[in-house]
Structure 1
Amino acid sequence: MDYHRGAQVEVRIARIFNTYGPRMCIDDGRVVSNFVAQALRKEPLTVYGDGKQTRSFQYVSDLVEGLIRLMDGEHVGPFNLGNPGEFTMLELAKVVQDTIDPNAAIVFRPNTQDDPHKRKPDITKAKELLGWEPTVSLRQGLPLMVTDFRKRIFGDHDS
């Protein structure tokens, strides 16, 4: 924003929220990739704290569409690009169970002190000025990510 204001450089600013999908780093420490990798490896899904903290998750193609609309538009931003649908960590673990292994165990570990209780983007500005909002639900996108992770973890085998 400083370049935009001070040097009149044309910029676009996106504030990107949790994004998931194929080709993510398997062991990147993000909650979706952690849960998917743990379930595929037959490890318990690790939920920190009571599992009631919320996050929102957008599929990668939704993010790309939002970025393209931002770049093609005339508005600087910042624009929140994310999915406003909230899931508790426990709900996310259950969606991963439903997708991969209904018998996957869930274990609880102490939470970190700085873990925010709620994260939910307000995408009103992106909807109004970019005509953008996410279209892929977690239950639609997660299986695509699982297929990719399964291939990379196990090769071409199913498990």
Structure 2
Amino acid sequence: MPRLYDEGKRQPRRCLWITRQNRVNIRIVRIFNTYGPRMLENDGRVVSNLIVQALKGIPLTIYGDGSQTRSFCYVSDLVEGMMRLMNGDQVGPINIGNPGEYTILELAKTIQDMINPTAELKFEPLPQDDPLRRKPDISKAKQYLDWAPTIALQEGLTRTIEDFRKRVEIAAAEAALAAK
């Protein structure tokens, strides 16, 4: 079975071929770790996992030693980049993401400090297929779209945590009412 990441890179190339054969107007965007309000609480992504764990007072799970890096792009930055791509002439593929690189441990400690400074950090074995580094090269987005992200991680996390906090509180209140 092919790896999802590899397939995600192969399929846009196939779309380009179809475009050229059939003269269909498409755009190809590669997105990187988008986060923000209204994310699903159980989507399995690191930002939502850590926020929910911190809000619920359970240990924050870090896989490996936390030294693997990721970049995190706030949703409004992603939308702006995609709009510029759709309204432009560049077909792509274009990477839309934030090139700011953070270790998973840095992310966990940031979320811990913002929500629950006494929360425990729990280290689990690193899955074999987990890449050690993910950082987008956004040079084409800058060149062709005049785009770069504007929302810093701290600001984006503040907005995201506020949204998650409201939803977790509502869910807890609903559960308490249902238990009566």
Of all paired residues, the percent bearing the same amino acid is 60
Structure 1 residue runs of 4+, over 3 Å off? none
Task: Confirm whether residue 10 of structure 1 aligns to residue 25 of structure 2.
Answer: yes
Q: Does 1:75 align with 2:90?
A: yes
For residues 81-100 of structure 1, the aligned pairs below 5 Å read: 81-100=96-115
**Distance (Å, rounded) in 1 between the aligned partners of 2:114 and 2:18:** 45
1:121 & 1:48 partners in 2: Cα distance? 21
Q: Partner of 2:159 in structure 1?
A: 144
Q: Which amino acid aligns with 2:64?
A: G
Asked if residue 108 in structure 1 is aligned to residue 123 in structure 2, the reply is: yes
Q: How many residue pairs get matched? A: 157
CA distance in 2, matches of 1:44, 1:156: 20
Q: Which amino acid aligns with 2:115?
A: I
**Corresponding position of 1:61:** 76
Corresponding position of 1:35: 50
TM-score by length of 1: 0.96
Please give the TM-score of this superposition, normalised by the length of structure 2.
0.85
Q: What residue is the counterpart of 2:67 in the other structure? A: 52
Task: Output the CA distance in 2 between the equivalents of 1:150 and 1:156.
Answer: 10
Residue ranges of structure 2 left out of the alignment (5+ in a row) = 1-15, 173-180
Q: Of the two, which has the highest radius of gyration?
A: 2
TM-superposed deviation, 1:148:
0.8
Q: 1:136 offset after TM fit, Å?
A: 0.3
Aligned-residue RMSD, C-alpha? 1.2
Structure 1 unaligned spans of 5+: none
